[in-house]
Structure 1
């Protein structure tokens, strides 16, 4: 004789509990990745390692070309001292003339992603779906601005700073004696990170309404807000 099936209310409550647990786990992972992305944005903006030369050796056949790195705000050239000789810096709040538009785009991207981090506090006051959607649009904005910055940066290589560091053969999308360094690669990876985080945020927002039975939506939303 088969055992009686549990009441519909018990099934709904069990489904609701499992959904809230999984939503919390994925939401916490998404929030941690969002914070990591925001920290990466700060590193990308301040580091003078977007492009640079490799190690050079004197061969006696001519003058030794300078060895150093270049960022949006600062140019650092290796010297006889342990610390490189750097010119510029974020403290002046003035990017290098050739990279002003790139610095503005990275700054807007930085503002958008840190605003999405601050919006995590809204889980106490708004529905989870609304907060996820706000953060998703902010992360899309951050990724779009970062993508534009990465596209404009090679177009600005024909500049006095680049010529002094990389030789006269530099031009738009031609780095001359230099090569892209880890900060620029990190910025490109940040675009992918922003796209993944925004997509995940939209999925989490839609699942708040789509996965729950109609009679459990209001209860679950209350539980997520009080978590």
Structure 2
């Protein structure tokens, strides 16, 4: 018989696991990791109004994609991958960053999916599903840290120099600045370890004496604060 067990701590862990997975996935897909040096595009419409001035903008560069202004239309921004295949991604460090982040996010998405079913299934192969998920989240956090550490090492590649100027080098941004996606990934990594720790509290809450008493009374839906 399936006992649906819902507690504040288990629900909070589930929601936080889902939020962390989505935050890391959105950050990974975003081109807003590096904000490049200011550039200008001459526009006939702008020249007619301002007498030959140009419209400045700052291109953005992500793990595998970028956003730039089209020379044919200064109002239109083109976003997409800058490489046709994985081997063309900026540098070895950049490739390693993409691999480690992707593995970590894959683990987080798997835990987020499983966490939805923890209300009904609290153990797997005689082990607490919360503890197993917490362990996976901890491993995912390590992969994310490795990816974030290796990301600045790739700033000296040709692709980064095109966006950040010749002064760009490993761990030196040049004329670039860090975008919101990088900070989101850092915040998500911190929350990943918080989830890993909090999974133990979720396990305690769903296996407490009060829950066992409710089960012995024959209740199939157990909701506790």
Kept in 1, the 8 Å contact 2:9–2:205? The answer is no
How many residues of Structure 1 are paired with residues of Structure 2 in the alignment? Answer: 198
In the TM superposition, residue 107 of structure 1 has moved relative to its aligned partner by: 0.7
Kept in 2, the 8 Å contact 1:127–1:225? The answer is no
Kept in 2, the 8 Å contact 1:155–1:172? The answer is yes
Deviations 1:113-138 (A, max 9, x none): 11112222254244397111111111
Deviations 1:168-213 (A, max 9, x none): 000010010001100000000011110111111022224555x538
In the TM superposition, residue 222 of structure 1 has moved relative to its aligned partner by: 9.4
Mapping of residues 80-95 of structure 1, within 5 Å: 80=71, 81=73, 82-86=75-79, 88=81, 94=86
SS in structure 1 of the partner of residue 173 of structure 2: coil
Query: Bigger CA drift: 93-102 or 151-160?
Result: 93-102
SS in structure 2 of the partner of residue 110 of structure 1: helix
Aligned partner of 1:76 in structure 2 is 67
Deviations 1:100-159 (A, max 9, x none): 111111111111011112222254244397111111111112211111111100011111
1:103 aligns with 2:101: no
Mapping of residues 95-134 of structure 1, within 5 Å: 96-98=89-91, 99-120=94-115, 121-127=117-123, 130-134=128-132
Structure number with higher relative contact order (C-alpha < 8 Å, ≥ 6 residues apart)? 2
Distance in 2 between residues matched to 1:138 and 1:26, nearest whole Å: 19
Select the structure that is richer in helix: 1
Aligned partner of 2:167 in structure 1 is 169
TM-score for both structures, normalised by structure 1: 0.73
- Residues 36 and 97 (structure 1 numbering): CA distance in 2 closer, same or farther, change over 3 Å? same
1:53 aligns with 2:48: no
SS in structure 1 of the partner of residue 31 of structure 2: coil
Kept in 2, the 8 Å contact 1:49–1:182? The answer is yes
- Residues 166 and 124 (structure 1 numbering): CA distance in 2 closer, same or farther, change over 3 Å? same
1:32 aligns with 2:15: yes
SS in structure 2 of the partner of residue 76 of structure 1: strand
In the TM superposition, residue 56 of structure 1 has moved relative to its aligned partner by: 5.5
* Structure 2 unmatched ranges of 5 or more: 42-54
Select the structure that is richer in strand: 2
RMSD: 3.3
Kept in 2, the 8 Å contact 1:126–1:225? The answer is no
Largest Rg, 1 or 2: 1
* Structure 1 unmatched ranges of 5 or more: 1-19, 59-63
Distance in 1 between residues matched to 2:213 and 2:40, nearest whole Å: 69
